[in-house]
Amino acid sequence: MRSKSFLSAAAIAIAAGCAAPASADVMKLQPRPGVELRLGVEVRGNERAIVLLFAGGHGMLHIDESGQPQGLRGNFLIRARNYLAARGIGVVLIDAPSDHLGGNGLTGYRTSSAHAAEIGMAVAAIRQRFPGKAVWLAGTSNGSVSVAAAAAYLQGTQRPDGVVFTSSITQQSRLNGSVFNVSLANYSGAALVASHEGDGCRFTPAADAPRLLAALAGARPKKLLTFNGGSPPRSEPCEAFSQHGFVGIEGQVMNAIADFILRPSS
């Protein structure tokens, strides 16, 4: 299914104005001996759903003791997360594990079963802390590869209720691979694929988005959204302040994502 999504400027402004962030705190998990995985939890407790956000690039958010990111704050999902909060969706930032908090970060690690297991631990921990809430994953650019690994590997209480892919890595990258390096066909939760028609990054062409949706063969319901427009780019094509990062239409995109998370079958 392919659709165009638009919101009025007024609606976007209202959403942005109402988007005061929830007070954050940090959760510390231990996926392996001597390894810490930090989550920045921005959840009030009355939300209908909670989404774990996976930034692109090297994935190192460097979440501090107050649960706030010190790195990658310009990343699309990170800088625009308050739009989700304004719609009643809790936000959890997931950092790179401590043994990948240096050098190249998550580069070369995102498609591994070990990375997926860390994500599964985070999903289970959030479910235990906030019982009864739907738990989703959303990734942008390289973060989409982390979400793909989770969709491919996780089962049971560790499997997310839904996944969101934005500006997905569909062309093989020497360092990070692509979303097609894992088997997506058996994932049976809800799935949303979002892209920008003007994305100039050679690893994330919008023309590949239908192929990603098709690869999620068992996902139900599933949907493809394409966007256009926005502000003139202020960064290189594969960086966050270009059409790759939905610059200028952050509210439009995030509100469309929120619509799907809250009503995936509509």
pLDDT tens, residue order, the chain (266 aa): 333 333 333 333 333 434 445 579 999 999 999 999 999 999 998 999 999 999 999 999 999 999 999 999 999 999 999 999 999 999 999 999 999 999 999 999 999 999 999 999 999 999 999 999 999 999 999 999 999 999 999 999 999 999 999 999 999 877 778 999 999 999 999 999 999 999 999 999 999 999 999 999 999 999 999 999 999 999 999 999 999 999 999 999 999 999 999 999 87
How far is Cα 190 from Cα 237, in angstroms, rounded to an integer? 29
Q: Is-contact 71 33, C-beta < 8 A?
A: no
Q: Is-contact 143 169, C-beta < 8 A?
A: no
Q: Is-contact 94 115, C-beta < 8 A?
A: no
For the chain, how many structural domains are there in total? 1
How far is Cα 254 from Cα 244, in angstroms, rounded to an integer? 14
Q: Is-contact 95 62, C-beta < 8 A?
A: yes
How far is Cα 209 from Cα 196, in angstroms, rounded to an integer? 10
pTM to 2 decimal places: 0.91
CATH number, domain containing residue 168 = 3.40.50.1820
Q: Which domain holds residue 13?
A: 2-262
Structure tokens at 196: 């920008």
Q: What are phi and psi of 217, to 5 degrees?
A: -65, -35
